[in-house]
Structure 1
């Protein structure tokens, strides 16, 4: 209670009322006081508490408030605001208590309105209008303000806000640097091609093996001169060139994967190879859809379930079926084959293994058994005997 001081209830120059509440009781720390059932007024500079039976008011300057906490009310208790305060200045007017062992006070709201008052109080403290208004209200001394700003929780919050602002500025600068780097990446690709051409021109001094090795070092990070939308006028032309790039870059990888690769894996691999010139899923899909039309070594295939893959144009579906049936026949007496079993034995993605088993079922080469253990497949002995 030593932070409160006796004052006149009238407003000073530059002071305006923000909100008010009735039925307010004052606490000194956690201890109840005799100041009960009063009217509390919040201005842009201080709080004023007054009882109808008293001619004077109690004032508390907002500059002393370091932290605000809210206590929920219970069955027999009212909601409260807990205000952690810094030390009052020596020049402050006299109050109801000369000194107090507590560094916080409580405001009890008997008639509700605690949350609304807290919001208005936090807004008034954040605006700190008392710093820009000439007033005769006793303020905290400059030395005390400096200590509370640096050592109090309010000072910590301001330091965090300043740090966040600095971080946002650093992120903005980082994105600007990234844009510049993307622009320089095109120049680096062009530079690598020029250097390679110059090395070829001096083939008498540099061996062909050195030329290949040097070029591989320069282009090991991704695709040489990736196709971009800015290079071509129409979307169709862009997708046609992009389809050729996809087929050239992924043909070997698709063959090593057994001739089939999920479209999601195609998207990840091509973007990793292109580096900074990333593609959208829509562009990858449109490019894959025109592969068959362009007679490229890779084409797109869609299973009946909707799963989309890229496969080699010369993929023999009969051999794929034979490989699947070989696994089914081998495990006929072992409780059948699940998608996980086929994926492990053939080195396939789980989704693709399931599609192969479903395709074998559609061709009447396999039958399914659904139980509590999951979905398993067996060779279709009825079809083979018929």
Structure 2
């Protein structure tokens, strides 16, 4: 499947919607909220019409089996563009575990298979310019749909609908970004990011767990709870309720740890999904003068420390590679990292971008992890698979980060 500008725009939106939140309300005053939904104990098969095959049905997990049979043909059709380093900028079948990769890529395995990118986009009527799944010489559409149906049957219903929550996602083993925009337009661009690592078959570590606010708004978060959703079972909340006492306000234009920046979930199961619920989440502004959750720092007046190096080294790269989306061309991208002032007020743009860099270890900056053509992070631009262009970008921007 070849790279296409329509796919780039579509995936940008899906990074919000596929990892989005299921409720429009942002506040709740009941501290006894239930994050796992359903009435079954011990992760038994759901009987609420979600995973488990419906009322009284018996869940059969054959998704992995169907994908294993499909995998060689899917790789042959899509691998040239959609493995790491491919020109498609969407490595959804990255080895070594292609099944894990495709489960975790936004927009492919979804609760309603009719909304999967494989059904809406990678077909002859979908505007996709590469190899289409229903092309006469490929004819994978029916087999792909059978597999998507099986995976959809394994997705549990969301946690309690009246509580603000993130719909369950399959975490990427590596960098993840979950945007809170679907909770309300006033939270557009605010993100929770973390790096996921399996410790054992039944434990997963979420490290570098951070909140990123925008120049327009901060966020007030009370008692976030992570929940695990095994295939075909109801969810179960973090057994130790790691953030039970958290009540933090994060000011505008900051990047801060969520709590201690780490949680280990010991109720994990292979191929499970991950959800997040909140007792309360709402917009916040430093202008209210009510504390805060830490800030991004900066130079005098909140600006960058090394503006000259930014303008000489980093700004030309961001102008060429990032401005078309982050400069106002894409609302979600602009809200997340606003580069609209790159030419008129470089200091303001510099502060925005600095919230996504690692001053201690520049190579671990989010702006590099997400755009690396050889990586598996879900970002709609990865230099079209051109490692040389990425290296030039990284080296120039690193010069500024090291000066900063």
TM-score range, shorter chain: under 0.3
Whose Rg is larger?
1
Please give the TM-score of this superposition, normalised by the length of structure 1: 0.21
Please give the TM-score of this superposition, normalised by the length of structure 2: 0.20
Q: Pick the structure with more helix per residue.
A: 1
Q: Greater RCO between the two (CA within 8 Å, min separation 6)?
A: 2
